Amino acid sequence: MKYGYLFYQKPLIAEMPSRPINLGDPIQSYAVKLLYKEMGIAEEDIIPVPRYDMADYKGEECVCTVNTCSTYEELAYDSHFMPPSEKIHAVPFSLHINRDIAEEELEYYRTCTDVGCRDEFTQRKLAALGVNAHLTGCLSLTFPRRTQVQEQNADKVYLIDVQKRVKDLIPRELLEEAIELSSIHRFEILHDSNRMTEQEAFDFHKLGEDRIALLRDTAKLVITSRLHAAAPCL
């Protein structure tokens, strides 16, 4: 049996030549990969599962942790998310849903022993619809603690997607040394596909993993509006 993590081979549309992509997506998948390794699962048994094509998946049979954010945005794309293919033994955990849920998808959640929800909003929403839902929090809270050496060497201040009204409250001495970053990257579409290429998606995942490494190794302070920057720092 293989163990899957959600692979964000993003949907594309021609009308959006510069597509915004959020590093929070691959950061969530990175947390799953690290947990699998902590469980003693061999590298070769950890495989990518296409996040936007789970219903049509025809790859190797696998257990897959489904920790993702599902909103109305994905309805604008050619996306087939839930219920998953019979080849996927899905474990809904750290799930966020902020959209209407189709009856077929809802019936699938009702068959699950339980559904782990990232937030109280999702837990209440699913519970009201007859799903055995409970609160898990976000898996990006599970990154290993940094070493004492890493902590001692960390000396950078980062502002990640901080609104101007918040910046106005930050002491000047912090702003002067702060490095501004964003969790949103612009992906330039250079081909006619309705998906990123596989290599582009792997590169996107590496951007997320690199962001975690940067914060782990160099940050003494992070001020951010982004859940998947704040939670790993905790």
The CA-atom distances, in angstroms, between 93 and each of 53, 115, 137, 140, 162 are 18, 6, 9, 12, 28
Span 93-137, pLDDT tens digits: 999 999 999 999 999 999 999 999 999 999 999 999 999 999 999
130 by DSSP, 3-state: which?
Answer: coil
Residue 96's closest CA among 230, 232, 228? 228
pLDDT band at 161 (very low <50, low <70, confident <90, very high): very high
What pLDDT score does 42 carry? 97
pLDDT at 142: 95
pTM here is 0.94
**pLDDT tens digits for range 174-232:** 999 999 999 999 999 988 888 999 999 999 999 999 999 999 999 999 999 999 999 99
What is residue 72's predicted lDDT score, i.e. its pLDDT?
82
Q: What is the mean pLDDT of the chain?
A: 94
Give residue 68's identity as a one-letter amino acid code: T
- Indicate the pLDDT class of residue 39, thresholds 50, 70 and 90: very high
User: What percent of the chain shows pLDDT beyond 90?
Assistant: 90
